[in-house]
Chains A and B, each alone.
Chain A
Amino acid sequence: MSADIRTGLLLAWLVVAIVIAWAIVPWLFTGQDPISGVPAEKLQGPSLAHLFGTDAIGRDLFTRVVHGAVHSLSGAFVAVTVGLVAGTLLGVLAGSLGGVVDAAIMRLVDVLLAIPGLLLALSIIILLGFGTVNAAIAVGVGSIAAFARVSRSEVVRVRQSDYVEAAFGSGARLHSVLARHVLPNSLTAVVGLAALQFGTAILAISTLGFLGYGAPPPMPEWGLLIAEGRNYVATSWWLTVLPGLVVVVVVLSANRISQSLGRSR
């Protein structure tokens, strides 16, 4: 049983490693051009020459997915960073200062949680303007609330522990207790959440791309790829299904890794 679990985890890491390699060195995986296609070969099904088939203007879909990795991944990375930094900062402040500050910050977070994620992201994009980075920031803002809640609860847990009191008892000041004891002991759960949010962010950015708020065509972003295939669902299933499967596999892998990070603490 435990062997199966480890194989699953290994597979998840393998998937993430491959996708990261796609983002960094896409030319190692495919020799074709993601932007301009061969019109004569349009709408071909999956074959050895075109693993994922081709789209309406003859572009190789696999090449577009590989080259799209960099947009989707960097977007997810930006989103997670925004959420992680802002959310953890708010959570740690609330958890360690307590009292009025805690109440004020956490009510603000409650307000963020009350707004549906997609609506919040869309509103922020309207304010910031379209584009990959703005879509990523919008998704990141949506995850601030989750990070703030998790980090606050961890900080509160650690703050009540005997060793934090013992540190105060041996003359430590608030800032050194925070840096030396509270942060190192409360961030494990946050790291687990970051991996989970990475998967969610890929999904959210793809959603925004699908709706047309993210990367502009002909950029091969994953959500946009699925959106472009939408018109051909009836005739050319691979245009939506295969990029969709890639997104599903990557998100599942991120979840699996997050789970293992959360358990190992």
Chain B
Amino acid sequence: MLETEENSAEPETVALSDEEVALLVQHGDKDKFAVLMERYEKKLLRYGRKFLSDKENVTDAVQEVFIKTYQGIKSFDPDQRFSPWIYRIAHNMFVNAIKKNSRNPVSFIDFDTLVAHPTYDDTAPADREQKEMRVLIDRGLAGLPPNYREIIVLYYLEELSYKEIADILRVPIGTVGIRLKRAKEFLKKQLPERAKDFE
């Protein structure tokens, strides 16, 4: 019997962490994979919609993410956090989708990772900043370059920490801080143009 939304949320499963569920899947409990999909599907769809420019590919891309996750589940170390791991798979999938569909592919050389950057304080954004950024994000994200778009989504919408984002993007932690700073500045500069579109 296939696990569905209605019966995958058994009380004992709800109490399990992502890492514990992944461990069960690794040991052969394939049905438990539905639990992981249930927990991450909405997040990954949101991440994909904000990151990819072609919304029609998001569903296919997210499906591929889950397929790759299942195929590679035995490479996951349950002592680490599951969330950055699956987001890493999603990041790779979405970047490949952008490369396939874009005339201006993601740059091969990542200049932000060339040198060390000061590590910015990874304080959770204050409520007010969070609300302001969500407004800016809704209005201005499409005009950002992919690497800025992604970091804004991961930090403000997916609410991941600098360390988690560094592990997903495979960049130094300082690079996360500097890229986020630049992304916010870029977004704010764009806002006057975007505001005109809505008049």
Mutual binders A and B: no
